[in-house]
Amino acid sequence: MSRAFVKDDDEAPEEPLPERAISDHPNYVTPLGLAQMAARLEELEAERLELARRADADDSVRERQRYVERDSRYFRRRLETALTVDPQARRHDAVGFGATVTVREDSGERRTYTIVGEDEADPDVGLVSWVSPLARVLEGARVGEHAVWRRPAGALDLIIVAVEYDGRSG
């Protein structure tokens, strides 16, 4: 076969990056979460400008540029659709969006969770998304009430020990 009909790897078009998935749920965020998303978008835009200056450098710069542009689109869309929920405007005697909830497990161990927007969630530090199974189980519960969290590892009975909004107990 003639070499004229064979594409070099260098000339192959880049595969488009899949867009980051956007949740079908309303985009509720805390005021802090909104500020964090705005700051992240600023960081990405600054990085995008820096990468644009170095775009001819090498393939790794162009590859990073693709990710930064994709993530910028994601955070821009999330900021455009953000519905800020002020936890102070909520009832403080029951668990709801923005609440910090302390629970006692069957074992007697206490854990604390804060219910936040999907983009704010970080379960490793106790920030759980408002659409997570745990948050849904806790929603509306008051101090002293039981909630059963049905997990793949088995059901866990939780007793609500405290409900706080920005440091204020309900």
Q: What is the CATH number of the domain that holds 128?
A: 3.10.50.30
- Asked, for residue 15, whether it belongs to a domain, the answer is no
- Asked, for residue 19, whether it belongs to a domain, the answer is no
C-beta separation of 111 from 126 below 8 A: yes
- Cβ atoms < 10 Å from Cβ of 49: 10
Reference 130, options 79, 85, 80; nearest CA is 85
- Cβ atoms < 10 Å from Cβ of 41: 18
Q: What is the pLDDT of residue 141?
A: 97
The torsion angle over the Cα atoms of residues 95, 127, 117 and 65, rounded to 10 degrees, is: 180
Domain range for residue 67?
Answer: 26-84
pLDDT band at 109 (very low <50, low <70, confident <90, very high): very high
How much is the pTM?
Answer: 0.84
Q: Into how many domains does the chain fold? A: 2
**C-alpha angle 118-123-125 in degrees, rounded to nearest 5:** 120
- Asked, for residue 8, whether it belongs to a domain, the answer is no
Q: Is 98 left (phi over 0), alpha (psi -120 to 50) or beta?
A: left
Q: What is the pLDDT of residue 89?
A: 66
pLDDT tens for 6-58 read 555 555 557 889 999 999 999 999 999 999 999 999 999 999 999 988 877 78
151 with 77, same domain? no
Contacts with 76 (C-beta within 8 Å, 6 or more apart), sequence order: 41
Q: What is the pLDDT of residue 35?
A: 97
Q: What is the pLDDT of residue 59?
A: 85
C-beta separation of 27 from 37 below 8 A: no
Is it the case that residue 92 has pLDDT exceeding 80? no
pLDDT band at 94 (very low <50, low <70, confident <90, very high): very high
Q: What share of the chain is helix, strand, coil (3-state, %, to 5)?
A: 40, 25, 40
pLDDT tens for 125-170 read 999 999 999 999 999 999 999 999 999 999 999 999 999 987 656 5
Residue ending a domain, among 64, 84, 104, is 84
Most confident of 56-60, 84-88, 95-99: 95-99
77 with 94, same domain? no
